[in-house]
Structure 1
């Protein structure tokens, strides 16, 4: 049986979450927006409980959480929702990095087409944003700084605490895409200097199709976000549409489970990562990225193309060579390119990612398959 090692792409739904989602789909199926009967009231209580569960991880008030369809939508609301404020205030400068997910880069590119000025930070060879470049890029009219927490391809952990310190006396809003870290890597996101955090359910053992956007107040002031589409007053008038109560409950419970088990999960992943690196190092593999998440290994073996390797490994392990969102037609990774890696190393890069269900990895079969390509 093929061993699944692509948890950065998506995770299985854990049993207690699946059981809760099924119950709310088939037994307690009220609409949280229905105020005239107990079914609706019960659904609303479920949503508010989930809101508190999500909020707990970032140490925010539950009123600062809105539910979305996933981190992509959350990113779009956080970025595009600032457009009106930017135009009114004259602050139309955005800073982001070249290693962000397309769900951040493309909304920013859209604003760039609307005469916003964008600075794209370089990455170090280890995959982190360049703090000194960020410091130099800050301007009086800087509206937004958007930097992810953990990179989805390399697992490189970004210097969020340093960025928060750098922005301590600056009014720019700080957005952190935490799709790969929320609940699993519980560090830095409780920093009050972070204004927006994007959350993805299906990276955290919850269902696909649900996520959240955390919007911290500054004192008593809410961030000046405006809706980017319309059709109802749900979710604080920022995100219209009937709430997916079962999925929201699943995300909430997944966050609670993660909060209780994060330390154990991290230890387990770290052990797997060390073992995997030791195995592929025998083939001369180079790890792409420094200071990376315990859940991810991105590596290249000299002389081996990643597409050929993935085909060879298909019945042994399920892995990838980049973001699942761009894997249908392979193009060289913009993340690895931004790190300055050479073409052969980029074309040979394979991403392996671990999860709570990862147990026995067939290292001998993996190394034998890869060695056959040399």
Structure 2
């Protein structure tokens, strides 16, 4: 049976979560916006329970959680939702990196095409930002700093606490795309200097199509976001549309399970990673990026084309060579390119990612296929 090792693209839904979502689809299927009967009241109760479960991941109040369709929508609301405020205050400078997910880079590019100025932090071959460079780039008119927590391609984990420290005396809003860390590596996300956090359910064993935007208040004042969609007024008027109660409840339960099991899952993931690296070291693998998440490894082996390797691993392991969201474009990874890696290293790069359900990795089979291609 093929081992699924592409968890950074999407995860399976845990059985407990799937069972809950199924029940709310076929038995307790009320609309949380219905106020005239018990079906609606029960649906609303499930939503508010989930809101609290999601909030507890990053130590915020449940009133600071807005449900969305996923991190892509959350990123768009966090970035584009600040446009009106930025224009009113004449604060139209944004700081980000070139290794962000396209769901961050493209909304920022949209603002740049509409009169905003963007500064990009360097990451270098390590794949990590230098917080002192951030300090040098901050200006009085900086409205937003957007830096992802864990990179989806390399797993590089940014020094969020140090970044927060550099932002201590800045009014700029700090947005973190936490799609790859929310519920798995959440401790840094509890820092109250982070204003906005984006999360996706399908990266933490919940269904696809659900996520959240955390809007942490400063004192008692929430970030000045405006909606980018209209019609219905749900989610405090910021994100309209009938709430998908089964998905929301499933996401909430997944967050509760992740919080409860975080330490155990991290230790298991780190053990799997070590078992893989021990064997890859023997064949001269190069690891792309530093300080990477225990749930992922991005590596290159000289003279091994990643496309050829993925084909040869058919029936053994499902792996990736980049972001699932841009895999159809067949262009070199913008993340590895931004890190300054040479063309050969980029074309041989492979990403293997796993989760708590992954009992073991087919290490010997993977290494054997790599050796065959090298020959």
Per the TM superposition, whether the score is higher than 0.5 is yes
For 2:141, the equivalent position in structure 1 comes to 141
Q: Is the 8 A contact 2:272 2:360 kept in 1?
A: no
Q: How far apart in 2 are the matches of 1:257 and 1:3?
A: 23
2:330 pairs with 1:369: no
**Residue aligned with 1:202, SS:** helix
Q: How far apart in 2 are the matches of 1:42 and 1:357?
A: 31
Cα deviations across residues 308-350 of structure 1 (Å, max 9, x unaligned)?
1111112111000000001112211111111111110011000
For 1:203, the equivalent position in structure 2 comes to 203
For 1:92, the equivalent position in structure 2 comes to 92
For 1:108, the equivalent position in structure 2 comes to 108
**Residue aligned with 1:125, SS:** coil
- 1:19-30 equivalent positions in 2, closer than 5 A: 19-30=19-30
Q: How far apart in 1 are the matches of 2:358 and 2:23?
A: 27
Number of aligned residue pairs: 374
2:329 pairs with 1:326: no
For 1:269, the equivalent position in structure 2 comes to 269
Superposed displacement of residue 110, structure 1: 0.3
2:163 pairs with 1:163: yes
For 1:130, the equivalent position in structure 2 comes to 130
Please list every run of 5 or more consecutive structure 2 residues that lacks an aligned counterpart in the other structure: none
Q: Is the 8 A contact 1:150 1:156 kept in 2?
A: yes
Cα deviations across residues 251-307 of structure 1 (Å, max 9, x unaligned)?
000000001000000000000000111112221111111111000100000001111
Q: How far apart in 2 are the matches of 1:12 and 1:240?
A: 28
Q: Is the 8 A contact 1:123 1:339 kept in 2?
A: yes
2:181 pairs with 1:181: yes
Cα deviations across residues 209-248 of structure 1 (Å, max 9, x unaligned)?
0000000111011110000010111000000000000000
For 1:213, the equivalent position in structure 2 comes to 213
Q: Is the 8 A contact 1:124 1:130 kept in 2?
A: no
**Residue aligned with 2:187, SS:** coil
Q: How far apart in 2 are the matches of 1:329 and 1:315?
A: 24
For 1:83, the equivalent position in structure 2 comes to 83
> Normalization by structure 2: what TM-score?
0.99
The more displaced of 360-369 and 161-170 is 360-369
RMSD: 0.7
2:250 pairs with 1:254: no
Q: 1:98 to 1:300 in 2, by over 3 A?
A: same
Q: How far apart in 2 are the matches of 1:118 and 1:320?
A: 31
Superposed displacement of residue 130, structure 1: 2.5
Q: Is the 8 A contact 1:201 1:208 kept in 2?
A: yes
Q: How far apart in 2 are the matches of 1:196 and 1:323?
A: 23
Q: Is the 8 A contact 2:97 2:121 kept in 1?
A: yes
For 1:32, the equivalent position in structure 2 comes to 32
> Normalization by structure 1: what TM-score?
0.99
Q: Is the 8 A contact 2:51 2:62 kept in 1?
A: yes
Q: How far apart in 2 are the matches of 1:99 and 1:229?
A: 27
Q: How far apart in 1 are the matches of 2:131 and 2:361?
A: 37
Q: How far apart in 2 are the matches of 1:270 and 1:237?
A: 42
Q: Is the 8 A contact 2:132 2:166 kept in 1?
A: no
Q: How far apart in 1 are the matches of 2:300 and 2:72?
A: 28
**Residue aligned with 1:94, SS:** strand
Q: How far apart in 1 are the matches of 2:363 and 2:151?
A: 25
- 1:302-317 equivalent positions in 2, closer than 5 A: 302-317=302-317
For 1:14, the equivalent position in structure 2 comes to 14
